[in-house]
Amino acid sequence: MGESFETKLSQLGLALPQTPKPVANYVPAVEAGDLLFLSGVLPFRDGTLAWTGKLGRDLTVEQGYEAAKVALLNGLAIVKSQLGTLDRVRRVVRLVGHVASAEGFVQQPAVINGASDLLVGLFGEAGRHARVAVGAAELPLQAPVELELIVQIAPRS
């Protein structure tokens, strides 16, 4: 194995936040075989949404891109809390990005690139993933983005 994904994260100038707590009756992630399925993740910073509102009305594509990146960092914090280390990630399988969109907003892929670009930057080829980027009329707590993630994981050593 090459360099540690956790080392790479710090080389990118990034740190994982505190693991977000569920906002309703669900668990943050479920391990099934060699797959880890994450529940929807929002762009929280220190327990508060870093942005609220809809893309194309309240927020720019650039702000949405940053919100997707922050939501992904929260997702990675969940992955680390479940697995003990990011280094057990073998492959990012799928990313689903929901974007709270004003009527007529069609740049959901550009927003979700905030998460996709970070996944590839961090995991390299293992971060290249299947993806869905869709618009949503409303998201929980007026969040601008919500991400779902499926990762393939290595067995515990």
Regions in the chain scoring below 70 on pLDDT: 1-2
Could you tell me which residues come within 8 angstroms of residue 21 by beta carbon, excluding any fewer than 6 positions away? none
CA distance 129 to 55: 24
Annotated domain spans of the chain: 30-153
**What is the structure's pLDDT at 24?**
87
**What is the structure's pLDDT at 2?**
62
**What is the structure's pLDDT at 156?**
85
Statement: 30-153 belongs to CATH 3.50.50.60: no
CA distance 40 to 97: 9
Residue pLDDT, tens place only, 27-57: 999 999 999 999 999 999 999 999 999 999 9
Rounded to two decimals, the pTM is 0.96
What is the rounded end-to-end Cα distance, in angstroms, of the chain? Answer: 14
